Amino acid sequence: CAKKDGSGSGSGGGSKALSLGFSQVGAESGWRAANTTSVKSAAKEAGINLKFSDAQQKQENQISAIRGYIAQKVDVIAFSPVVVTGWDAVLKEAKAAKIPVVLTDRSVETSDSSLYVTLVGSDFTDEGRRAARMLEKVLAKAGLKGPVKIAQLEGTTGAAPAIERGKGFKEIMDAEHKSDWKIVVSQSGDFTRAGGKQVMAAFLQSHSDINVLFAHNDDMAIGAIQSIEAAGKKPGKDILIVSVDGVHDGFVAMSQGKINGIVECNPLLGPQLMEVVKKVHDGQKVERWIKTKESDYTQDQAKAALPTRKY
């Protein structure tokens, strides 16, 4: 995607600010709230004219927001796709209008790789693998032997982090723990606290012997904790919990002993995104996938890490 005219962001002086149309997934989780704040403040800092819309977790809203940005002739479009499929038509419209598209946070499946320039975001499959490795540590620390009966709270159905975290976790489980670990129940809680609470309550009704919960994000784990306590069980003890994100409330639950381990997924993508958007607008070459660096945290590290968490 080449620079469209001579007024690129690098030209300084009185040139017009680069305009960026950004379609956010929604406001489903603490991670998302931190991501939105990061994108908005980084755009301001970078002098980018940000047009922001919240799709309330609906693909049709994202598609119409993107069409709106095409009609407004923004310089660059960025979006975090709620699900992986169904984007080709609108991405082709952006391409026809010569507006480069940058994906952030989540990826898409497309028949034509030229429909977007790059993805700025995490490796979710690896997060799933890291969650399985974290569970190994948690089980060893708890001294839990015997059958490991796992409940899985999946993210939004069809979303990249739900598909890929599930896949990465299963990959390690099937390769190394086939005889002792079993996912006994698995369902989407839509990455929300309310979803996690409701689905976990149903899990506990149908499977009273669950001893592990793998939640695809902290918010669902926090919702699930409420249902576990309501059922008279101790989260973090009777049911060991591993989740993904590392948001402030997740760290609070972990420092209280209610979550056993967290795989970090960093939402502070704004500064990197703005840098990439400027480069793309200037016609510079960028990597196809700009991966986020992240860490894993156990209960022992939670209290010490909590005061310095940035989201």
Positions in the binding site for ligand AHR (CB under 6 A) = 28-29, 31-32, 105-106, 161, 191, 217, 219, 244-245, 265
CA distance 17 to 19: 6
Give the tokens for residue 243: 């989740």
Three-state DSSP class for residue 198: helix
Beta strands across the sheet bearing 76-79 = 49-54, 19-24, 76-79, 101-104, 118-121, 289-291
CB of 218 to ligand AHR, least distance (A): 7
CB of 216 to ligand AHR, least distance (A): 7
Name the β-bridge partners of 214.
152, 242
Nearer to ligand AHR, 84 or 265 (CB): 265
CB of 256 to ligand AHR, least distance (A): 20
CB of 246 to ligand AHR, least distance (A): 9
CB of 191 to ligand AHR, least distance (A): 4
Nearer to ligand AHR, 90 or 221 (CB): 221
CB of 10 to ligand AHR, least distance (A): 31
Nearer to ligand AHR, 265 or 276 (CB): 265
Nearer to ligand AHR, 100 or 161 (CB): 161
**Which residue in the block uniquely carries the two structure tokens 């940035």?**
310
CB of 245 to ligand AHR, least distance (A): 5
The length of the chain, given as a count of residues:
311
Beta strands across the sheet bearing 240-245 = 181-188, 148-154, 212-215, 240-245, 261-264, 296-298
- The two beta strands, 148-154 and 49-54, are unpaired
Helices (H), the chain: 30-46, 59-71, 88-96, 124-142, 160-176, 193-206, 218-230, 248-255, 270-281, 299-305
Three-state DSSP class for residue 154: strand
Nearer to ligand AHR, 106 or 133 (CB): 106
Nearer to ligand AHR, 262 or 302 (CB): 262
Nearer to ligand AHR, 75 or 245 (CB): 245
